[in-house]
Amino acid sequence: MSTETSSTVRPADGRRVRGDASRRTVLAAAVDLASVEGLDQLSIGRIAHAASVSKSGVATLFGSKERLQLATVEAARERFVEAVLTPARELPRGLGRVLALVDRWIAYSRDRVFPGGCFFAEAAADFDAKPGEVREAIRRALDDWEGYLAASLAHARDLGDLPGLDDPAQLAFECSALLDLANRDSVMRGTNVSYRRARVGVAARLRAAGGDETAIAAFAAIPDA
């Protein structure tokens, strides 16, 4: 590559790197803020203030409130995957992965990966009755989580770890309901007691499906202090 070509390319690359860094900074502020104040409350001006950047800079990056909201949902999904799915996937398929998924979800809510608890619980409450692209993005993220949990339960059954499980999708629904309620109760009451109740409930359902008692007891005994 010639010197002339290099000098032409480098400034553009530098601008792209700075733009990507600014986008990450803005979205990190957006997901945290939306988890507390609601995704529908996001505005270019509000995020500019929270991220300590200019309104024109945010407008240049996203263009509209809806595009900002959609990018925020995607950034939240990536953070959720990193906190919950990626660590659980280190375990082989089976009951161990199922327990890890539920445990990581509890830790995700309990440890406030998002300041307001589960980002998607807050976002769903904001958009459940508002048709449009943002609602569909939230729905897809929720479907992906519950679908992955159902698939993991089905693999555990097929491997013989949950021989009494007849409907993985039903059990995934029940587990998700317990986790969502634990998240809401913890945020509302400022206590971790609800996570203990969720563990006990999930453990009972897995025992009923024939899961290994030693593994389930170890999962249920985690204190969530």
Spatial distance between the Cα atoms of 202 and 196, rounded to a whole number of angstroms: 10
The answer to whether position 197 is within a domain reads: yes
Residue 166: how many other CB atoms lie within 10 Å: 9
Total-model pTM: 0.88
Spatial distance between the Cα atoms of 156 and 77, rounded to a whole number of angstroms: 25
Taking all residues of the chain, what is their mean pLDDT, rounded to a whole number?
Answer: 91
89 contact partners, CB below 8 Å, separation of at least 6: 97
Structural domain of residue 187, as residue ranges? 65-220
User: What does the pLDDT read at residue 70?
Assistant: 96
Can you spell out the DSSP letters for 131-188? Answer: -SHHHHHHHHHHHHHHHHHHHHHHHHHHTTSSTT-S-HHHHHHHHHHHHHHHHHHHHH
The answer to whether position 183 is within a domain reads: yes
Residue 223: pLDDT band by 50, 70, 90 thresholds? very high
Number of domains composing the chain: 1
The answer to whether position 29 is within a domain reads: no
The answer to whether position 169 is within a domain reads: yes
User: Please, are residues 103 and 95 in contact by the beta-carbon 8 Å criterion?
Assistant: no
CA dihedral of 85, 88, 93, 96, whole degrees rounded to 10: -140
pLDDT > 90 in the chain, percent: 76
Residue closest to 141 by CA, chosen among 117, 116, 155, 124? 124
Residue closest to 30 by CA, chosen among 56, 4, 65, 63? 65
Of all residues in the chain, what percent are helix, strand and coil, respectively (each to 5)? 80, 0, 20
Domain at 130, CATH number? 1.10.357.10
The answer to whether position 8 is within a domain reads: no
Specify the 3-state DSSP secondary structure of 118.
coil
The answer to whether position 184 is within a domain reads: yes
Q: How far apart are the first and last CA of the chain?
A: 58
Mean pLDDT comparison of 14-28, 31-45, 143-157, highest-scoring range: 143-157
The answer to whether position 7 is within a domain reads: no
The answer to whether position 127 is within a domain reads: yes
Q: Provide mean pLDDT across the span 57-74.
A: 90
| 140 or 8, which is more confident | 140
Encode pLDDT of 83-126 as tens digits: 999 999 999 999 999 999 999 999 999 999 999 999 999 999 99
